[in-house]
Structure 1
Amino acid sequence: MQDEEYMQQLSLGIDSAFDILVFRYHKPLFGYVYRLLNDEKLTEDIVQETFLKIYQQGQKGVVPDQFKPWMYKIATNTCKDYWRKPTSRLEYVTDKNIEGTGQVHPIIDHQLERQWMVESLNQLSIDYRTVLFLRFYQDLKYSEIALALDISINTVKTRIARGLKLLENILITDERKGAEGNG
């Protein structure tokens, strides 16, 4: 069955349909929100709140035309609500140290590279960061991103192009800083 059909069942009071949606989308939604927030506990809270909103909408009879972009829109807006809170930036401090042994050296190298990329992405504004995460980490199409963020497809294309250019500049700057520090 399609996701929209499960939402239709939920609107008819069949709660087991919601369980299937949670099972299907918990992991990808968690990954998306975690990349935006970089905080595991906060991510879990946001994901739960997103699913709660989906459940409540289903109980009200809301059945989106396309479930996946609608779900990401709810998650993105829930993150934006968090960022609007005055204390949220102060609470946004996390421990990013990675420790390991010689046995897992290649894994740590990969994790450090990935961490470097995520940290670089996090330097972008939320508008650029969100479209890049949805496109490259969640593999959404431009039309799905447009629906999820309530913007035009041209805006999606522009933000992706500009975001990639800004990211490239950040990565080049970071690489130069690293070379100067080692040289």
Structure 2
Amino acid sequence: MQDEDYMRRLSVGNDSALDTLVFRYHKPLYGYVYRLLLDEKLAEDIVQETFIKIYRQGKRGHIPDQFKPWIYKIATNLCKDHWKKASTRQEQFTDLNLETKGQIHHIIDRQLERQWMVDSLNQLSIEYRTVLYLRFYQDLQYAEIALTLDISINTVKTRIARGLKHLEKILKEDDRKGVGVNG
């Protein structure tokens, strides 16, 4: 069954339909929100609030045309609401520990490379970071990203292109400074 079918079931009183949607989307949605907020507890709260909103909308009979972009839109808007709060406006910096030892050297290298990429992405503006996370970590298509963020497909394409260009500069600068994985 399609996600929209589960929303239809929810709208006619089948509360267990939400279970399937939670099963399908909790992990990828949590990963997306965590990458945006860099806070495990807050990410979990946002994901839970997202599913509560979905449940309430379903009970009201709302069935989105495309569920996947809709759920990411809800989560993205909740993240935006969080950022708007004055109490949450603080810069977050993470330190990389690039030391590798022992027989698990290659595993640590891969993890560090991934962390370096995430840290580099987090240096981008939220507009670029959001489209890149949705495209490359959540595997949404351009049209789905456009629906999620209420922007045109051309804006999505532009933000992805510019975001990748900025990311490339950050990675090259880090590499030049010796901050990267091999530094």
Question: Shared topology, TM-score over 0.5?
Answer: yes
Identity %: 75
* Structure with higher helix content: 1
C-alpha separation in 2, matches of 1:99 and 1:170: 21
Counterpart code for 1:17? A
User: What's the CA shift string for 1:75-117, capped at 9, x where partnerless?
Assistant: 1001111111111134957786688862322221111111110
Instruction: Give runs of aligned pairs for residues 85-124 of structure 1, distance below 5 A.
Output: 85-90=85-90, 102-124=102-124
CA RMSD of aligned residues (A): 2.2
Gapped runs of 5+ residues in structure 1? none
C-alpha separation in 1, matches of 2:40 and 2:103: 26
Give the structure 2 partner of residue 65 of structure 1: 65
Give the structure 2 partner of residue 125 of structure 1: 125
Counterpart code for 2:88? S
Q: TM-score, normalised on structure 2?
A: 0.91
Q: TM-score, normalised on structure 1?
A: 0.91
Give the structure 2 partner of residue 157 of structure 1: 157
C-alpha separation in 2, matches of 1:121 and 1:82: 19
Counterpart code for 1:38? L
Distance 1:95 1:41, change over 3 A: farther
Give the structure 1 partner of residue 9 of structure 2: 9
What is the Cα deviation at residue 24 of structure 1? 0.7
CA contact (8 A) 1:39 1:92 kept: no
User: What's the CA shift string for 1:108-142, capped at 9, x where partnerless?
Assistant: 11111111100110111111000000000011100
What is the Cα deviation at residue 39 of structure 1? 1.5
Gapped runs of 5+ residues in structure 2? none
Higher mean C-alpha deviation, range 83-92 or range 131-140: 83-92
Aligned length: 181
C-alpha separation in 1, matches of 2:94 and 2:177: 23
CA contact (8 A) 2:30 2:43 kept: yes
